[in-house]
Structure 1
Protein backbone atom coordinates (compact mmCIF):
# COMPACT_ATOMS: atom_id res chain seq x y z
CA UNK A 1 0.00 0.00 0.00
CA UNK A 2 1.08 3.56 -0.64
CA UNK A 3 0.06 6.98 0.60
CA UNK A 4 -1.78 9.20 -1.89
CA UNK A 5 0.11 11.56 -4.15
CA UNK A 6 0.56 15.14 -3.01
CA UNK A 7 -0.83 17.56 -5.62
CA UNK A 8 -0.43 21.33 -5.53
CA UNK A 9 -1.49 23.82 -8.22
CA UNK A 10 -0.69 27.51 -8.54
CA UNK A 11 -0.97 30.12 -11.28
CA UNK A 12 2.04 32.27 -12.14
CA UNK A 13 2.29 35.44 -14.20
CA UNK A 14 5.10 34.22 -16.44
CA UNK A 15 5.69 32.18 -19.60
CA UNK A 16 6.10 28.39 -19.80
CA UNK A 17 9.68 28.93 -20.98
CA UNK A 18 10.61 31.14 -18.02
CA UNK A 19 9.00 28.70 -15.60
CA UNK A 20 10.91 25.81 -17.17
CA UNK A 21 14.15 27.77 -16.82
CA UNK A 22 13.33 28.53 -13.17
CA UNK A 23 12.90 24.81 -12.52
CA UNK A 24 16.07 23.71 -14.33
CA UNK A 25 18.66 26.49 -14.15
CA UNK A 26 20.79 26.32 -10.99
CA UNK A 27 21.11 30.11 -10.91
CA UNK A 28 17.32 30.28 -10.53
CA UNK A 29 16.84 27.39 -8.10
CA UNK A 30 19.50 28.88 -5.84
CA UNK A 31 17.37 32.04 -5.52
CA UNK A 32 14.00 30.60 -4.48
CA UNK A 33 14.77 27.08 -3.19
CA UNK A 34 16.75 27.62 0.03
CA UNK A 35 19.99 28.23 -1.82
CA UNK A 36 19.90 24.79 -3.45
CA UNK A 37 21.33 24.18 -6.90
CA UNK A 38 19.78 21.40 -8.94
CA UNK A 39 22.17 20.20 -11.62
CA UNK A 40 21.39 18.05 -14.66
CA UNK A 41 21.33 18.04 -18.45
CA UNK A 42 17.57 17.46 -17.94
CA UNK A 43 17.50 14.71 -20.57
CA UNK A 44 15.46 11.61 -19.73
CA UNK A 45 17.65 9.16 -17.81
CA UNK A 46 20.23 11.81 -16.93
CA UNK A 47 21.46 12.07 -13.35
CA UNK A 48 20.16 14.97 -11.28
CA UNK A 49 22.08 16.22 -8.28
CA UNK A 50 21.42 18.64 -5.45
CA UNK A 51 24.40 20.94 -4.89
CA UNK A 52 26.65 18.46 -6.69
CA UNK A 53 26.08 15.58 -4.23
CA UNK A 54 26.55 12.33 -6.12
CA UNK A 55 23.30 10.34 -6.11
CA UNK A 56 23.22 7.71 -8.88
CA UNK A 57 19.60 6.84 -8.13
CA UNK A 58 18.31 10.36 -8.65
CA UNK A 59 17.48 10.59 -12.33
CA UNK A 60 15.31 12.54 -14.72
CA UNK A 61 12.29 10.38 -15.55
CA UNK A 62 10.61 12.65 -18.07
CA UNK A 63 11.68 15.87 -19.78
CA UNK A 64 9.36 17.65 -22.21
CA UNK A 65 10.38 21.33 -22.21
CA UNK A 66 8.54 23.52 -21.40
CA UNK A 67 5.59 21.29 -20.50
CA UNK A 68 6.57 18.50 -18.13
CA UNK A 69 9.52 17.55 -15.94
CA UNK A 70 9.74 14.55 -13.62
CA UNK A 71 12.56 13.13 -11.53
CA UNK A 72 13.15 10.80 -8.64
CA UNK A 73 13.29 12.51 -5.27
CA UNK A 74 16.67 12.89 -3.59
CA UNK A 75 18.51 10.75 -1.10
CA UNK A 76 18.42 12.32 2.34
CA UNK A 77 22.12 12.79 2.99
CA UNK A 78 23.83 13.98 6.15
CA UNK A 79 25.05 17.07 4.27
CA UNK A 80 21.49 17.95 3.26
CA UNK A 81 20.17 17.36 6.79
CA UNK A 82 22.82 19.60 8.33
CA UNK A 83 22.14 22.36 5.78
CA UNK A 84 18.38 22.41 6.44
CA UNK A 85 18.53 21.66 10.17
CA UNK A 86 17.13 18.12 10.21
CA UNK A 87 18.15 15.89 13.14
CA UNK A 88 19.98 12.66 12.32
CA UNK A 89 17.13 10.49 13.65
CA UNK A 90 14.65 12.10 11.26
CA UNK A 91 17.14 12.04 8.37
CA UNK A 92 17.67 8.29 8.85
CA UNK A 93 13.91 7.68 8.89
CA UNK A 94 13.50 9.67 5.66
CA UNK A 95 16.40 7.86 3.99
CA UNK A 96 14.91 4.45 4.86
CA UNK A 97 11.75 5.13 2.84
CA UNK A 98 11.28 4.17 -0.80
CA UNK A 99 12.41 6.76 -3.30
CA UNK A 100 9.51 8.92 -4.45
CA UNK A 101 9.13 11.05 -7.58
CA UNK A 102 8.11 14.62 -8.34
CA UNK A 103 6.48 15.86 -11.53
CA UNK A 104 5.99 19.45 -12.66
CA UNK A 105 3.19 20.00 -15.17
CA UNK A 106 3.32 23.38 -16.94
CA UNK A 107 0.29 24.60 -18.89
CA UNK A 108 -0.50 27.99 -20.45
CA UNK A 109 -3.70 29.37 -18.92
CA UNK A 110 -4.57 32.60 -20.71
CA UNK A 111 -2.00 35.22 -19.66
CA UNK A 112 -0.83 32.99 -16.80
CA UNK A 113 0.91 29.65 -16.48
CA UNK A 114 -0.63 26.85 -14.44
CA UNK A 115 1.97 24.90 -12.47
CA UNK A 116 0.91 21.61 -10.95
CA UNK A 117 3.35 19.80 -8.67
CA UNK A 118 2.60 16.09 -8.23
CA UNK A 119 4.77 14.22 -5.73
CA UNK A 120 4.01 10.53 -5.39
CA UNK A 121 5.22 7.00 -4.84
CA UNK A 122 5.21 7.23 -1.05
CA UNK A 123 5.27 4.30 1.38
CA UNK A 124 2.21 3.88 3.57
CA UNK A 125 2.55 6.21 6.58
CA UNK A 126 5.37 8.08 4.85
CA UNK A 127 7.21 10.77 6.77
CA UNK A 128 8.38 12.19 3.43
CA UNK A 129 4.72 12.55 2.34
CA UNK A 130 3.90 14.50 5.48
CA UNK A 131 6.88 16.80 4.97
CA UNK A 132 6.31 17.54 1.27
CA UNK A 133 2.75 18.54 2.14
CA UNK A 134 4.26 21.51 3.92
CA UNK A 135 7.37 21.98 1.79
CA UNK A 136 5.93 22.15 -1.73
CA UNK A 137 3.46 24.99 -1.04
CA UNK A 138 6.34 27.06 0.35
CA UNK A 139 8.67 26.25 -2.57
CA UNK A 140 5.94 26.91 -5.17
CA UNK A 141 4.99 30.18 -3.47
CA UNK A 142 8.60 31.28 -3.38
CA UNK A 143 8.99 30.36 -7.06
CA UNK A 144 5.84 32.33 -7.92
CA UNK A 145 7.03 35.35 -5.95
CA UNK A 146 10.47 35.17 -7.54
CA UNK A 147 9.12 35.01 -11.10
CA UNK A 148 6.55 37.74 -10.55
CA UNK A 149 8.53 40.20 -8.40
CA UNK A 150 12.19 39.20 -8.65
CA UNK A 151 12.21 38.33 -4.93
CA UNK A 152 11.69 34.90 -3.35
CA UNK A 153 9.85 34.53 -0.07
CA UNK A 154 12.08 35.45 2.90
CA UNK A 155 11.76 31.92 4.36
CA UNK A 156 13.34 30.44 1.23
CA UNK A 157 16.49 32.55 1.21
Structure 2
Protein backbone atom coordinates (compact mmCIF):
# COMPACT_ATOMS: atom_id res chain seq x y z
CA UNK A 1 0.00 0.00 0.00
CA UNK A 2 1.35 3.42 -0.95
CA UNK A 3 1.05 6.35 1.45
CA UNK A 4 2.31 9.88 1.91
CA UNK A 5 4.62 8.92 4.80
CA UNK A 6 7.95 7.13 5.23
CA UNK A 7 8.91 5.95 8.74
CA UNK A 8 12.30 4.65 9.88
CA UNK A 9 13.16 3.60 13.45
CA UNK A 10 16.49 2.64 15.01
CA UNK A 11 18.06 2.35 18.43
CA UNK A 12 21.29 4.21 19.21
CA UNK A 13 23.58 3.76 22.20
CA UNK A 14 23.58 7.41 23.26
CA UNK A 15 21.58 9.87 25.37
CA UNK A 16 18.62 11.96 24.25
CA UNK A 17 20.73 15.12 24.71
CA UNK A 18 23.61 13.80 22.59
CA UNK A 19 21.20 12.71 19.86
CA UNK A 20 19.56 16.14 19.91
CA UNK A 21 22.99 17.74 19.53
CA UNK A 22 23.81 15.40 16.63
CA UNK A 23 20.58 16.42 14.86
CA UNK A 24 21.00 20.17 15.40
CA UNK A 25 24.70 21.03 15.72
CA UNK A 26 26.37 21.99 12.44
CA UNK A 27 29.64 20.27 13.32
CA UNK A 28 27.79 16.97 13.76
CA UNK A 29 25.43 17.24 10.80
CA UNK A 30 28.27 18.11 8.43
CA UNK A 31 30.08 14.90 9.41
CA UNK A 32 27.34 12.35 8.77
CA UNK A 33 25.13 14.31 6.34
CA UNK A 34 27.30 16.89 4.61
CA UNK A 35 24.72 19.55 5.51
CA UNK A 36 24.80 22.30 8.13
CA UNK A 37 21.56 23.92 9.20
CA UNK A 38 21.46 27.63 9.93
CA UNK A 39 18.51 28.22 12.24
CA UNK A 40 17.58 29.09 15.80
CA UNK A 41 15.79 25.73 16.33
CA UNK A 42 12.60 27.36 17.57
CA UNK A 43 9.14 26.85 16.02
CA UNK A 44 8.66 29.18 13.06
CA UNK A 45 12.39 29.93 12.67
CA UNK A 46 13.63 29.92 9.08
CA UNK A 47 16.17 27.27 8.04
CA UNK A 48 19.01 27.62 5.58
CA UNK A 49 20.58 24.40 4.31
CA UNK A 50 24.31 24.76 3.72
CA UNK A 51 25.77 21.93 1.67
CA UNK A 52 29.45 22.55 1.12
CA UNK A 53 28.97 26.32 0.84
CA UNK A 54 25.89 26.04 -1.38
CA UNK A 55 23.07 27.64 0.57
CA UNK A 56 19.39 26.82 0.02
CA UNK A 57 17.04 29.32 1.60
CA UNK A 58 13.28 29.64 1.18
CA UNK A 59 10.64 31.33 3.38
CA UNK A 60 8.77 28.00 3.56
CA UNK A 61 11.80 26.14 5.01
CA UNK A 62 11.01 26.46 8.70
CA UNK A 63 11.27 24.69 12.03
CA UNK A 64 7.86 23.28 12.94
CA UNK A 65 8.61 21.90 16.42
CA UNK A 66 11.68 21.82 18.66
CA UNK A 67 11.69 20.17 22.08
CA UNK A 68 15.33 19.44 22.95
CA UNK A 69 15.97 15.78 23.66
CA UNK A 70 12.42 14.81 22.60
CA UNK A 71 11.11 16.11 19.27
CA UNK A 72 12.31 17.98 16.20
CA UNK A 73 10.33 18.73 13.05
CA UNK A 74 10.90 20.93 10.01
CA UNK A 75 9.88 21.39 6.42
CA UNK A 76 12.07 19.75 3.81
CA UNK A 77 14.32 21.87 1.65
CA UNK A 78 13.41 23.56 -1.60
CA UNK A 79 14.58 22.12 -4.88
CA UNK A 80 16.37 24.83 -6.80
CA UNK A 81 18.19 24.66 -10.14
CA UNK A 82 21.49 25.44 -8.35
CA UNK A 83 20.93 22.60 -5.89
CA UNK A 84 20.07 20.16 -8.69
CA UNK A 85 23.20 21.14 -10.62
CA UNK A 86 25.42 20.81 -7.54
CA UNK A 87 24.15 17.29 -6.75
CA UNK A 88 24.29 16.35 -10.44
CA UNK A 89 20.61 15.67 -11.00
CA UNK A 90 19.53 15.54 -14.57
CA UNK A 91 16.96 18.11 -15.64
CA UNK A 92 14.07 15.64 -15.85
CA UNK A 93 14.62 14.38 -12.29
CA UNK A 94 14.91 17.93 -10.97
CA UNK A 95 11.69 19.01 -12.70
CA UNK A 96 9.81 16.01 -11.30
CA UNK A 97 11.03 16.73 -7.76
CA UNK A 98 10.24 20.44 -8.05
CA UNK A 99 6.60 19.60 -8.92
CA UNK A 100 6.08 17.56 -5.76
CA UNK A 101 4.61 19.17 -2.62
CA UNK A 102 6.88 20.35 0.17
CA UNK A 103 7.32 17.57 2.69
CA UNK A 104 8.14 17.51 6.39
CA UNK A 105 10.50 15.49 8.56
CA UNK A 106 9.96 14.71 12.23
CA UNK A 107 12.37 13.06 14.66
CA UNK A 108 10.97 11.54 17.84
CA UNK A 109 13.60 10.80 20.49
CA UNK A 110 12.67 8.35 23.26
CA UNK A 111 14.86 6.89 26.02
CA UNK A 112 14.93 3.09 25.86
CA UNK A 113 17.09 1.56 28.58
CA UNK A 114 20.75 2.14 27.72
CA UNK A 115 19.80 3.33 24.24
CA UNK A 116 17.64 5.93 22.58
CA UNK A 117 14.88 5.06 20.15
CA UNK A 118 14.93 7.40 17.15
CA UNK A 119 11.92 7.44 14.84
CA UNK A 120 12.21 9.50 11.67
CA UNK A 121 8.92 10.24 9.95
CA UNK A 122 9.04 11.94 6.57
CA UNK A 123 5.50 12.96 5.69
CA UNK A 124 3.42 14.96 3.24
CA UNK A 125 4.98 13.02 0.37
CA UNK A 126 3.29 12.43 -2.96
CA UNK A 127 2.25 8.75 -2.91
CA UNK A 128 4.27 7.03 -5.62
CA UNK A 129 6.34 10.21 -6.05
CA UNK A 130 10.01 10.45 -6.80
CA UNK A 131 10.89 11.98 -3.41
CA UNK A 132 9.41 9.04 -1.53
CA UNK A 133 11.60 6.66 -3.54
CA UNK A 134 14.71 8.74 -2.92
CA UNK A 135 14.22 9.08 0.82
CA UNK A 136 13.44 5.36 1.16
CA UNK A 137 17.11 4.83 0.27
CA UNK A 138 18.47 8.03 1.79
CA UNK A 139 17.11 7.93 5.34
CA UNK A 140 18.40 4.44 6.24
CA UNK A 141 21.90 5.34 5.00
CA UNK A 142 21.87 8.72 6.74
CA UNK A 143 20.58 7.38 10.06
CA UNK A 144 23.10 4.51 9.93
CA UNK A 145 25.92 7.03 9.55
CA UNK A 146 24.52 9.11 12.44
CA UNK A 147 24.29 5.95 14.61
CA UNK A 148 27.85 4.98 13.74
CA UNK A 149 29.15 8.46 14.56
CA UNK A 150 27.45 8.54 17.95
CA UNK A 151 28.44 4.99 18.90
CA UNK A 152 32.00 4.83 17.53
CA UNK A 153 33.07 8.40 16.84
CA UNK A 154 33.28 7.66 13.10
CA UNK A 155 30.60 8.30 10.51
CA UNK A 156 30.17 5.79 7.70
CA UNK A 157 32.06 6.48 4.47
CA UNK A 158 29.95 8.04 1.77
CA UNK A 159 28.83 5.36 -0.66
CA UNK A 160 30.18 5.64 -4.20
CA UNK A 161 27.91 7.45 -6.69
Determine the C-alpha separation between the residues in 1 that align with 2:86 and 2:18: 28
- What residue is the counterpart of 1:43 in the other structure? 42
Displacement of 1:89 after TM fit? 1.7
Determine the C-alpha separation between the residues in 2 that align with 1:154 and 1:23: 18
Conserved 8 A contact 1:3-1:121: no
Pairwise CA RMSD: 1.6
- What residue is the counterpart of 1:14 in the other structure? 14
Looking at secondary structure, tell me which structure has more strand per residue.
Answer: 2
SS of the aligned residue for 2:120 comes to: strand
Which shows bigger deviation, 21-30 or 120-129?
120-129
Conserved 8 A contact 2:4-2:126: no
**1:99 corresponds to 2:98:** no
- What residue is the counterpart of 1:59 in the other structure? 62
Q: Which runs of 5+ in 2 are unaligned?
A: none
Which shows bigger deviation, 128-137 or 118-127?
118-127
**How does the TM-score come out when normalised to structure 1?**
0.93
**1:88 corresponds to 2:91:** yes
Q: Which runs of 5+ in 1 are unaligned?
A: none
Q: How many residues align?
A: 155
The runs of 4+ residues in structure 1 deviating greater than 4 Å are none
Which shows bigger deviation, 107-116 or 78-87?
78-87
- What residue is the counterpart of 1:153 in the other structure? 156
Displacement of 1:78 after TM fit? 2.5
**How does the TM-score come out when normalised to structure 2?**
0.90
